[in-house]
Amino acid sequence: MRHTLLRTSFFWLFTIGIFANCLAQSKQSGPVIEEFGKVWRIENTDFKVDTTKTYKAVFDIMNSPEDVSQRNASLETAARFLNMHAQSGVPSEQLKVALVVHNKASKDVITSEAYQHKYKVENPNEKLLQDLMAAGAQVIFCGQSSSSRGFPKEELIDGVQLSLSAMTALIQLQDENYRLIKF
């Protein structure tokens, strides 16, 4: 009986220790985008983050989930980028982000009203995109996709910029030293 009690006590202590460790290492959002972009805090890195550098990233967003009620994880990558660098000590003013949206992701940049009309659900990406733009991110929508996929400028979320094409926007941003991130 005593042996069983010791094993049971050890099991619960071990389980509580594992649970506490998992809580301590949970992903966190913020400080730039509070509701989205959770990341793991990485301590004691060998390759250190240069907190004096300005990070300029352009995200090429062309895919989107088939399930229209599901948020586009590629859009959330920009929030993760902002949060992980801010959590690592890079000042927000040194984080420059642009998202170039086209192809299947075209539907993700329209208002919930337009989305509701087309898909019978609210746009699950609208709040995320609004938060990104409020944090200074540029959201640029391909004019070619706008026309070919039937998402006119009038249906875009406020702040989304219409460009001639995704190709044009990507070239111009890379000429401005933005680094292309394509996931």
| Domains within the chain, CATH numbers bracketed | 1-183 (3.40.1260.10)
Helices assigned H by DSSP within the chain: 2-24, 73-87, 112-119, 126-134, 143-149, 166-175
Q: Which of 38, 82, 40 lies closest to 59, judged by CA? A: 82
As a whole number of angstroms, the distance between CA 181 and CA 21 comes to 32
Residue 13 structure tokens: 């202590």
Buried residues in 46-77 as b, exposed as e (16+ CB within 10 A):
eeeeeeeeebbbbbbbbebeeebeebbebbbb
Residue 5 structure tokens: 């009690």
Chain length of the chain: 183
Residue 62 structure tokens: 């062309």
> What is the per-residue pLDDT across 64-111, written as a single tens digit (0 to 9) for each?
999 999 999 999 999 999 999 999 999 999 999 999 999 999 999 999
Taking the whole predicted model, whether its pTM rises above 0.75 is answered as yes
For residue 173, how many C-alpha atoms fall within 13 Å in the half-sphere facing its CB? Answer: 26
pLDDT of 183: 73
> What is the per-residue pLDDT across 109-129, written as a single tens digit (0 to 9) for each?
999 999 999 999 999 999 999
